[in-house]
Structure 1
Amino acid sequence: MSIRLEDALKHPTLAAADPIIRAGAKAAARAQLRWIHSSEIIDIAPLLAGGELLLTGGEALALASEERQVNYIHQLAERGVAAVAIETGDALPTLPSSMVSAAEAAGLPLIELRAVVPFVGVTQAINSMLVSDSVSHLRRAEEASHAMAVELAHGGGLDRILAVLAGISHAEVTLTSVSGATLASASPASANAADADDADASSLEPQEQGRPQEQGRLIHIDVPIRGILAAQLLLRVPADEDQNLARTAGNRSVDILALALLQRMSPGLKEVAAAALLRAVDSGSQAWRLQQLASAAGIPSTAPLVAIVIRSGMLQHLRGSVEHLLARAGQPSATYVDNAELLAVAVVAGDAPGESRHALLAGLRALSAPSDTRLAVGPLAAEISEAPWSLSEARLTLDLAHALGHSHTGTHGPRSPVIDCEEFAIERLAMGSLGADQRRNFVRQQLGALLDHDAQRNSRLVGTLATWLDSGCNTAQAARELHVERQSMHQRLQRIFELCDGDPRRTGRLAALHLATRLVRLD
């Protein structure tokens, strides 16, 4: 039987840290460990496989915003981590209440380590005990994988294949589509009658009714086909069974299940063409090739569209949400994951492309996404031949937003992960048309006096002017955004006007100054 979390907390190397469970006590009582891992990286969740006890010193969390701290808990819970233990001390005196509440709601055991212990010693001591279990799990998982392959070779359906997995893992097993529809299922009881043709999800119902959900653990395992998330394997493991064996056997069964799914629902021409289209758009293929692939992918070659670029540590999970949003809009679209990016093209309504694009932006902003997600929507492309341009502009927007630290994200605020490339139109034009020296010379010509004043007196007149111009010269709004009194704002503007040879609204220099304040951020 695997090592339980309670036993690990009592191990001398970890007990020295004076651990106390702050949240998820019920889950902690039945949690089993697959491995112990230590990391200070906040966005560590995508690198974990589930079942880990994660140790962290808390220094990075202490510097993170409350939103990132809560997202840290949510991502670890979604990943199936067994527990997270955070060391408190000078950097992080106490565990934030928001993290404790989030962990309790998610059922993730959250442990406070009230004394410093060497994490290396803890991981070495306890992981060495887990290794022998891992070897046994791998051997039994290989046996299950082989038996599932034999079942598949003899024409067995998904229910029969899952029955093999259910038999060895003693778990109730369900295979669902990306949208959540049940494709097949099996229970330990059905494993003893795997030759029954009518074994289906109904065999699960009595057990679900007889066993409260909190007494077991639900393990989620992605099942990709050709790099694309096609299904999800769910294993509900009773509290008294070996969760790590179920997880290992489930992971070993992924390839067999992918083959079975390919036989059942092989990707059609449309899906293959959609992936090929995005690859061609990304590589900037010739117009005739894009038109050919667009037609095969069900995308009108002359319809207006936009390109989307998404960067995140959990792209496969986001892909389903994005595809669902695009399908709900009723417009043809295609998506593709490559090189840590999710790429998409989406047709917009031809009678009102601008409104359709704004609606798409609003829908994307409403999606739930990990804290590390950054998404840019490219400019309107008149037809598929302009899709490479829209894609490259979206990608440039992401790079600019990163370089500028999201200092300019329009009316949606600096925290929005969804960026409209039109809010960076000036910066995109400058990067494509002006060299670095040309940009610096123009900025110096327009803002030289203000730049010198800021450098000599440690003031922020250039930033004040930029905010005022971005607000449409609305002094009251600029004062609110800068968190200053309106009288102070008027005084700053008066000094700016003196250094700029007058009120720019009366000199014809308004556009030039606005351009310069945008360019100064690039250099």
Structure 2
Amino acid sequence: MAEVVALPVVQRGNPEVLSRCRWHEPIRWVHVSDLADLSTLLQGGELVLTTGVALAREPRTYLSGLAEAGAVGVIVEVGTEVSTLPSQTGATAEELGLALVVLHRRVRFVEVTEAVHRKLVAEQYDEVAFDRRVHETFTELSMKRASINGIVDAAARMLAEPVVLEDLSHQAIAASATIPADLLDDWERRSRRSPAGAHAEPWAVTGVGPRSQEWGRLVVPRAPSEPTRARMVLERAAAALAMHRMIEQDRTGLQHQAQSGLIDDVLRGRITDERDVAARAQALGLRRAAGYVPVTVRAARPRMPTDPVADHRRNIALLDTVAHTVNAGGHSALFSLQGDGEVGAVLALKDSRGHGAEKAFTKLGVTLREEVRRVDGSESVLAVGSPAEQVTDAVAALAESAHVAEVALAMPTGGRAYFRASDVRLRGLVTLLREDDRLQRFAETELKAVLDNDSEATPDHLTVLREYLRLAGNKAALAERLHMSRPALYKRLAAIRTALGVDLDDGESMTSLHVALMILDARGVGARR
């Protein structure tokens, strides 16, 4: 009614509004008639145009008949057949829930019907075209096996509204790319009270999955500008998501996919604003914390490729094991499969104050090793990177923890629960590269003379040299450790110096010999006595 009265052709009739009931409800059609009883001609949703003869004679009877037939309202022209309407006509229309407008100047009703019907047809055509575009878009996305984020983003673009996919525990597992961060704040609490509750959010919500087996909800987290279109797009997007899950049902869980997707978006620079990243991370279950720690769990896997399907299942089992262990310890994290046998995570510790972090990592490392061995049957290491105040910085630092994990897995753990960069250093790098032929040749060239001079009767040259370098050339401490007299030690060192042909007190020589010994130790050559 509001749009009809605003039309120029109606405005020329100097309209007076006597009742604004149903003012913003849609009109299905326009009907022109002066009959006293239109109940058999109307189907509901019509606007009636009349010169007012029947209305002026019996206002209540006439308006009651229209109300019972489902009409939206009446526009009556006075001055031609009827000079005026009874004084209570407007009040009667309001009582019956009908819109009533009086035109004080003559207009051609055919022009009104043409204008309204043209507008109705145009809107109906727009709706049909929009419906076809929605259908084609989500059909194509399903055919191309688009990702969850791709489907959610498509829905958001069609509606020009933010869209969120949540699971049954009200965790936001996917959100459209341009969603404002404040719409994800305190997501779980706000979602639980929508659409029911005394303080329900004015959201558009559609369930995802079969009616009796829904596994999530698609949400426009504010009042949509076009509710009908929002409902239609969400329903089609929900169907595409249900199809996606049917296809991907043997893959990792939705939440892990969403967490991995967020980490990948940050690493690839698709999302750079910390507030947006933090809001999404918290909606995915990462608790707010003073600092976030990048960690990597690496499991030993055979170098030769095996069955790809079996490998994928092992990786999913590893991811689930790591996530379950971290969450069972009271911590929260974002998890991502970074490669075969490798899980990266951004961790928010339950207690990071004082020595709480060290205790937490020790306990977590021991538990993870036991659980991975039980589930995966392989040995594993936990590598811890440098903590960061922002989630984006912690995600970027996953490369550091991944390097530490790779090196640590190649080293003897020595019962260590977890590793930091300071624990691997040069020995870790050497261990990682121990199979390199060039490294092996270097070690053999540096130490060939002492490797060939091995005496069973006395401490061998290799042992003396190793302890000498470990003590940074402190001869007094070396004699005490080897239980040798100083003259005997000096004689032994002189023999080693002569055999190697280098100055054992020279800093570069000591470094070179120490690296060569690390290479031998990493390969188990010249085992320590």
Which of the five TM-score ranges fits, normalised by the shorter chain?
0.3 to 0.5
TM-score for the superposition, normalised by structure 2: 0.34
TM-score for the superposition, normalised by structure 1: 0.34
Highest Rg: 1 or 2? Answer: 2
